[in-house]
């Protein structure tokens, strides 16, 4: 049996490592659009919130670094309106609520782990600078398609994708970068809901003197913010954030990401499967896209594992086993996907609206979370571990 993974972002890489770890003899081909040199891609410095559940998966994949900053508490509040809640690691009995890792760092850690795995996998091919429109039609002749499982992990960003079954433009972009700061409480994340959209300040791998920021607003406003001189930008940020948490000294690497929802209804078709952003692209408001994608990758590898263990000779038998494994995968992912997509879309709609009843309702929702610890903890657990 052959497996082709199209796309070597974090989800494709995680899936490749997991498959090879359990089946080093597997005939696996990874089509990596990027070059062999790290970091890959070098220009992507998004700070990604990795949940505690994802950290555990990355540790198991040998793709974790103890240098990445932990989040011990998260403050969520509205700028100019009532309603706030704080989540602390002690309330959840966890070492951390999550960690922040730069996108390029995650891919580097996963690539390093895959390189180690590759030394024990004689039939693994890692094709760099490689991109196909349709791998099931164009793949190299040595691959037998009737015995082959094609894994689409070529997610990409919302504005680069073709529209899938559910496609929604939130008419928002995120301005992402990092700040030099002073006097900030370490290991703390803030999510502020401003009149322009959500604004998050998150720990940075450079240490407590730096913070990642993700500032969501209309595409026009985000372009304006990107082009402001440093002192004016810092002034605007201070005004928009509106909490005296310390000093913002310098800003670096301002990059824009258009935001939207793009969902594939059927994530499995015959011997093909879609995972990570190739299956669902989400608004980053809840920090769930990669966390959900990593759970896709590991679950898929676990569902396909028994097929390799059996290795029958007859191709009809193999194709049936692959189809069964993929439908099992679709079944296992249904509720986690639905729940995570639903919560994220709800938050993206609720927290970007300035309609007064909605502003009041979300203030009430935040206050309710603060007053009802079991509800708050249940929500935090969903965000940290997904639906189990
Ligand atoms: C501003 C922002 C902030 C975010 N913050 C968070 C967060 O805090 N927490 C979180 O969990 N998620 C977050 N996300 C979402 C997260 O970045 C994505 O969900 C995650 O990157 C998906 O990983 P992936 O491997 O599926 O796709 P990608 O990261 O998009 O990787 C896909 C790979 O496929 C390659 N590719 C594309 N087309 C082809 C082709 N035809 N052939 C071969 N290769 C191809 C691409 O070059 C890329 O290497 C954020 C997203 C944004 C935009």
User: Is the CB–ligand 1 distance for residue 287 below 6 Å?
Assistant: yes
Q: Provide the terminal-to-terminal Cα distance of the chain, rounded to the nearest Å.
A: 30
Question: pTM to 2 decimals?
Answer: 0.91
Q: How far does residue 174's CA lie from ligand 1's centre (Å)?
A: 14
User: Is the CB–ligand 1 distance for residue 10 below 6 Å?
Assistant: yes
Q: How far does residue 157's CA lie from ligand 1's centre (Å)?
A: 6
Helix (H, G, I), strand (E, B) or coil at 330: helix
Instruction: Find the helix or strand (DSSP H, E) in which 224 lies.
Output: helix 219-227
Phi, psi of 3 (to 5 degrees): -125, 135
User: Is the CB–ligand 1 distance for residue 174 below 6 Å?
Assistant: yes
pLDDT of residue 87: 81
Instruction: Give strand pairing partners of 124.
Output: none
User: Is the CB–ligand 1 distance for residue 16 below 6 Å?
Assistant: no
User: Is the CB–ligand 1 distance for residue 7 below 6 Å?
Assistant: yes
Q: How far does residue 94's CA lie from ligand 1's centre (Å)?
A: 27
pLDDT of residue 286: 83
Q: Mind listing the domains of the chain with CATH numbers?
A: 2-57+103-165+262-385 (3.50.50.60)
Q: Looking at ligand 1, which residue's alpha carbon is closest to its atom 15?
A: 289
In whole angstroms, give the CA distance from residue 77 to residue 143. 53
Instruction: Give strand pairing partners of 49.
Output: 100
pLDDT of residue 38: 77
Distances (CA, A) of 286 to 49, 217, 388: 9, 15, 18
pLDDT of residue 287: 87
Count of CB atoms situated within 10 Å of the CB of 328: 17
- On whether the CB atoms of residues 25 and 2 are closer than 8 A, the answer is no
pLDDT of residue 348: 84
pLDDT of residue 370: 56
pLDDT of residue 334: 97
Concatenated DSSP letters of 98-148: EEEEEHHHHHHHHHHHHHHHHTT-TT-EEETT---S-HHHHS-TTS-GGGE
Q: Using omega within 30 degrees of 0 as the cis cutoff, is the peptide bond preceding 41 cis?
A: yes
Mean pLDDT per 10-residue section of the chain, whose length is 388 residues: 93 98 94 84 84 93 95 81 74 85 94 97 92 60 73 94 94 95 95 86 94 94 98 96 94 95 97 98 91 97 88 74 96 96 86 61 57 61 58
Helix (H, G, I), strand (E, B) or coil at 313: coil
User: Is the CB–ligand 1 distance for residue 31 below 6 Å?
Assistant: yes
pLDDT of residue 89: 87
Helix (H, G, I), strand (E, B) or coil at 373: helix
């Amino acid at each position: 049996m052959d497996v082709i993974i199209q796309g070597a972002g974090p989800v494709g890489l995680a899936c490749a490592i997991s498959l090879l770890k359990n089946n080093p003899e597997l005939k696996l081909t990874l089509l990596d659009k990027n070059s062999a040199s790290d970091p890959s891609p070098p220009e992507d410095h998004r700070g990604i919130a990795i949940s505690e559940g994802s950290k555990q998966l990355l540790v198991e994949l040998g793709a974790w670094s103890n240098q990445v900053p932990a989040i011990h508490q998260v403050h969520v509040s509205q700028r100019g309106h009532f309603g706030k809640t704080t989540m602390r690691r002690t309330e959840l009995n966890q070492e951390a609520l999550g960690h922040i890792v730069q996108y390029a760092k995650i891919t580097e850690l996963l690539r390093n782990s895959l390189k180690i795995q590759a030394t024990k996998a004689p039939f693994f091919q890692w094709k760099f600078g490689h991109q196909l429109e349709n791998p099931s039609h164009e793949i190299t002749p040595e691959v037998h398609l009737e015995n082959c499982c094609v894994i689409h992990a070529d997610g990409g960003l919302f504005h680069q994708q073709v529209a899938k079954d559910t496609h929604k433009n939130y008419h928002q972009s995120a301005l992402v970068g990092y700040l030099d700061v002073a006097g900030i409480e370490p290991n703390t994340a803030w999510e502020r809901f401003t009149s322009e959209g959500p604004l998050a300040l998150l720990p940075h791998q450079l240490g407590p003197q730096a913070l990642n920021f993700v500032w969501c607003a209309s595409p026009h406003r985000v372009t304006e913010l990107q082009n402001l001189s440093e002192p004016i930008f810092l002034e605007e940020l201070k005004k928009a954030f509106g909490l005296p948490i310390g000093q913002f000294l310098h800003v670096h690497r301002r990059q824009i990401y258009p935001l939207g929802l793009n969902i594939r209804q059927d994530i499995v078709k015959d011997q093909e499967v879609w995972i990570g952003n190739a299956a669902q692209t989400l608004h980053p408001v809840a920090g769930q896209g990669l966390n959900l994608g990593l759970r896709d990758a590991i679950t898929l590898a676990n569902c396909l594992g028994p097929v390799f263990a059996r290795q029958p000779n007859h191709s009809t038998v193999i194709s049936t086993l692959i189809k069964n494994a993929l439908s099992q995968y679709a079944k296992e992912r249904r509720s986690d996907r639905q729940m995570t997509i639903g919560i994220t879309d709800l938050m993206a709609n609720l927290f970007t609206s300035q309609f007064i009843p909605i502003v009041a309702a979300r203030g009430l929702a935040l206050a309710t979370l603060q007053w009802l610890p079991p509800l708050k903890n249940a929500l935090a657990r969903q965000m940290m571990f997904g639906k189990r």
